[in-house]
């Protein structure tokens, strides 16, 4: 039996619970999603999918950019979709609650897939790329941003000084992502950009991760409360990484990728 590393229901619940706080805390997500817009192709009509749309922040932006397109907003978390639909309604659009690894869309039905900071939550990235290849029309593109393995490395280091449990989500490195791209998709571009966010206090970072729903969702995480001594060691482990300017760093390794399904001969 294949061990499930990620609990999808927990991810859905965590993001659903975060729907009302997400927008006020998701500064990095705003920035990355906005930078990702630069990778989108020139306007053309057709069907667009925002994969892992969250609160729908990018719905009006995509609608403005592609006014004639039909927009599917898809997310695993029903709470996110309710929030998106009520706060960012749109014409010629629908909201679908589904898993990116099993898309409820027909073969060759979508011209463009936009996805910002969502696919890092997938269990099997190869399965995701296979689904993307299936639903894209020939000539269609998958434009996505995702997080690399160096993301939140300071948090991992700090926890390693406390215990051996898995406290931080695993993120895939570039070679793993590339190796899993479906052979029916061409890589048009693959860019990396690391961002270092700075916090005065560790609690600001941990509150932010909680507030956007990005808890640790991997297996191997501790059961029950973390003891006081472990917590002390964790905090000391993070404090030891305080920078010369007095701030605590949190690294985000971001990949911006454009894949294209070739035109059929
Ligand atoms: C960090 S949020 C990003 C939301 C939005 N794209 C943005 O940039 O504001 C990640 C979103 O991906 C969704 N998600 C996680 N795993 C998913 C999956 N397997 N299929 C579809 N959506 C998923 C979460 O529910 C969450 O809304």
Domain locations along the chain: 8-150+169-196+251-260
| Smallest CA separation from ligand 1 atom 27, residue | 54
Question: Which atom of ligand 1 is nearest the CA belonging to 77?
Answer: 25
Nearest to 63 by CA among 89, 82, 98: 89
Measured CA to CA, the distance from residue 100 to residue 123 in angstroms comes to: 10
Q: How far is the CA of 141 from the centre of ligand 1 (A)?
A: 19
Q: How high is the pLDDT of residue 203?
A: 93
Q: How high is the pLDDT of residue 51?
A: 98
Q: How high is the pLDDT of residue 216?
A: 67
Q: Identify whether the C-beta of residue 161 lies closer than 8 Å to the C-beta of residue 239.
A: no
Question: Which atom of ligand 1 is nearest the CA belonging to 116?
Answer: 6
What is the band of 167 on the pLDDT scale with cuts at 50, 70, 90?
A: confident
- Averaged pLDDT, 169-185: 95
Measured CA to CA, the distance from residue 197 to residue 152 in angstroms comes to: 10
Question: pLDDT for 196-243, tens place per residue?
Answer: 999 999 999 999 998 898 866 665 555 566 688 888 999 999 999 999
Q: How far is the CA of 41 from the centre of ligand 1 (A)?
A: 22
Measured CA to CA, the distance from residue 226 to residue 207 in angstroms comes to: 16
CATH superfamily of 8-150+169-196+251-260: Vaccinia Virus protein VP39 (3.40.50.150)
Q: Identify whether the C-beta of residue 79 lies closer than 8 Å to the C-beta of residue 85.
A: no
Question: pLDDT for 237-260, tens place per residue?
Answer: 999 999 999 999 999 999 999 999
Q: How high is the pLDDT of residue 45?
A: 76
Looking at the predicted structure, is the pLDDT value of residue 155 above 60?
A: yes
Measured CA to CA, the distance from residue 184 to residue 182 in angstroms comes to: 5
Q: How high is the pLDDT of residue 27?
A: 92
Measured CA to CA, the distance from residue 221 to residue 230 in angstroms comes to: 14
Question: pLDDT for 19-59, tens place per residue?
Answer: 999 999 999 999 999 999 999 998 877 999 999 999 999 99
Q: Going by C-beta distance under 8 Å and a sequence separation of 6 or more, which residues neighbour residue 173?
A: 148, 149
Q: How far is the CA of 246 from the centre of ligand 1 (A)?
A: 33
CA-angle at 235, arms to 233 and 240, nearest 5°: 95
| Smallest CA separation from ligand 1 atom 13, residue | 52
| Smallest CA separation from ligand 1 atom 25, residue | 77
Ligand 1: which of 75, 88, 132, 151 to mutate, judged by most atoms within 8 Å of the beta carbon? Answer: 75
pTM: 0.93
Ligand 1 shell residues, CB under 6 Å: 11, 15, 26, 29, 33, 52-54, 57, 75-77, 80, 99-101, 116-118, 121-122
Q: How far is the CA of 149 from the centre of ligand 1 (A)?
A: 18
């Amino acid at each position: 039996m294949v061990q499930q590393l990620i609990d999808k229901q927990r991810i859905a619940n965590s993001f659903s619970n975060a729907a009302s706080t997400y927008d006020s805390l998701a500064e990095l997500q705003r920035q990355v999603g906005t930078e990702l817009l630069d990778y989108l192709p020139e306007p053309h009509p057709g069907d667009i999918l925002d994969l892992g749309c969250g609160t729908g922040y990018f719905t009006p932006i995509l609608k403005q950019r592609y006014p004639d397109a039909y927009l599917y907003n898809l997310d695993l978390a029903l709470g996110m979709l309710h929030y998106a639909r009520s706060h960012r309604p749109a014409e010629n659009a629908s909201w679908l609650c589904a898993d990116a690894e099993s898309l409820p869309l027909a073969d060759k039905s979508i011209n463009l897939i936009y996805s910002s900071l969502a696919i890092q939550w997938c269990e099997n990235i190869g399965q995701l790329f296979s689904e993307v290849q299936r639903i894209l029309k020939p000539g269609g593109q998958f434009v996505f941003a995702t997080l690399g393995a160096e993301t939140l490395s300071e948090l991992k280091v700090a926890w390693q000084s406390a215990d051996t449990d898995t406290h931080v989500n695993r993120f895939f490195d570039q070679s793993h992502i590339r190796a899993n791209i479906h052979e029916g998709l061409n890589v048009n571009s693959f860019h990396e950009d690391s961002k270092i966010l700075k916090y005065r206090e560790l609690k600001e970072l941990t509150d932010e991760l909680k507030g956007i729903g990005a808890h640790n969702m991997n297996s191997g995480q501790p059961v029950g409360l973390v003891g006081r001594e472990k917590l002390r060691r964790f905090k000391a482990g993070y404090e030891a990484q305080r920078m010369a300017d007095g701030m605590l760093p949190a690294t985000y390794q971001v990949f911006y990728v454009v894949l294209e399904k070739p035109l059929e001969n």
